[in-house]
Amino acid sequence: MVRFLRKFRAAQKPRCTALVAAAGSSSRMGGVNKLLETIDGVPVLVRTLQSLQMAQSVDAIVIAAREEDIIPVSDLCRTYGIFKCTKVIRGGQSREHSVLLAALEADSDTELFAVQDGARPLVTPELIDRVVDKAARCSAAAPAIPVKDTIKIARDGEVERTLDRSTLMAVQTPQVFAADLLKAALQSALEANVELTDDCSAVERLGKIVYLIEGDPENIKITTPVDLVVAQAILLAREGFA
pLDDT of residue 29: 78
What are 143-201's pLDDT values in tens digits? 999 999 999 999 999 999 999 999 999 999 999 999 999 999 999 999 999 989 899 99
C-alpha separations of 233 from 34, 218, 230, 236, 237 in Å: 17, 10, 5, 5, 6
Q: Is 60 helix (H, G, I), strand (E, B) or coil?
A: strand
What are 200-228's pLDDT values in tens digits? 999 999 999 999 999 999 999 999 999 99
As a CATH number, domain 2-155+173-241 is 3.90.550.10
What are 74-122's pLDDT values in tens digits? 999 999 999 999 999 999 999 999 999 999 999 999 999 999 999 999 9
Residue 4's pLDDT band (cuts 50, 70, 90):
low
Q: CA 205, 207, 213, 219: dihedral to nearest 10 degrees?
A: 0
237 contact partners, CB below 8 Å, separation of at least 6: none
Distance CA 119, CA 83 (A): 20
Nearest residue to 135 (alpha-carbon basis) of 217, 58, 196: 58
* DSSP letters for 226-239: HHHHHHHHHHHHHH
Strands 140-146 and 211-214: parallel
CB crowding 215-236: b at 16 or more within 10 Å, else e: bbebbbbbbeeebbeebeebbe
pLDDT of residue 10: 45
Please give the share of the chain, as a percent, with pLDDT higher than 70. Answer: 95
